[in-house]
Amino acid sequence: MKDGSPLTFRPLRPEDEPAWHAFLSRCSEKTLWSRFRYVFKESTHEMATRFCFIDYDRTIAIAAEDESYEGADDDGRLVAIGRLVADPDHRTAEYAILVEDAWQGRGLGAAMTAYCMEICRDWKIDRVTGETTADNRRMQTLFRNHGFSLVPTDDAEEMLFRRRFSDSP
């Protein structure tokens, strides 16, 4: 991080479930809405299973871990998660990111997005898409700053962005 914060990017693991729940509990309703398009009062084991137990053939979730945190488990603390889900042929992927409120505006979203776009290159993905809400200006700027273009849709509340890595349509 440009501010010197000690962060580690690593794949999210099943044993991260307690940290994942804690991470979500530190996110505001607005942040959760921007990522999931709904607000939940508490996260469940079923939700955690969907997000922490990864099918690495098509999906990867990258956790940003704050190494300066000295909590009960002393293993660090999740402060952001970037997620890529590819189609079965690995031609296209969807990208989503969630950054804890206290870490927003510090360059973490940009660093995570750059990291995940490198994974897309490694996977030889042709196109990656991401969605955000029409009022999420930070995410729109993040997408544009990382080579994404706005794709016209009929939905006035959601915005779709796409980035091409090759000359494919």
- Residue 73 pLDDT greater than 70, yes or no: no
- Residue 38 pLDDT greater than 70, yes or no: no
Per-residue model confidence (pLDDT) at position 100: 94
Across the range 76-87, mean pLDDT stands at 92
Domain ranges in the chain?
A: 7-164
Distance between CA atoms of 36 and 137, rounded to whole angstroms?
Answer: 16
Distance between CA atoms of 28 and 24, rounded to whole angstroms?
Answer: 8
Task: Please report which confidence band the pLDDT of residue 74 belongs to, taking 50, 70 and 90 as the band edges.
Answer: very low
Q: What is the DSSP letter of 68?
A: T
pLDDT in tens, 135-145: 899 999 999 99
The pair of three-digit structure tokens given for residue 5, joined into one six-digit string: 């914060």
Mean pLDDT lowest for which of 45-54, 87-96, 98-107?
A: 45-54
Task: Using CA atoms of 49, 50, 51, 57 in order, give the dihedral in degrees to the nearest 10.
Answer: 110
Distance between CA atoms of 143 and 147, rounded to whole angstroms?
Answer: 7
Per-residue model confidence (pLDDT) at position 46: 85
Count of residues in the chain: 169
- Residue 70 pLDDT greater than 70, yes or no: no
- How far, CA to CA in Å, does 25 sit from each of 18, 21, 40, 42, 151? 11, 6, 10, 7, 32
Across the range 142-167, mean pLDDT stands at 92
What is residue 76's three-state secondary structure?
Answer: coil
Across the range 46-71, mean pLDDT stands at 86
Question: Mean pLDDT score of the chain, rounded to an integer?
Answer: 88
Question: 7-164 belongs to which CATH class?
Answer: alpha beta
- Residue 151 pLDDT greater than 60, yes or no: yes
0.85 surpassed by pTM: yes
The pair of three-digit structure tokens given for residue 52, joined into one six-digit string: 């922490």
| Ramachandran sector of residue 24 (left: φ over 0; alpha: ψ -120 to 50; beta: rest) | alpha
- Amino acid type, 28: S
- Residue 158 pLDDT greater than 80, yes or no: yes
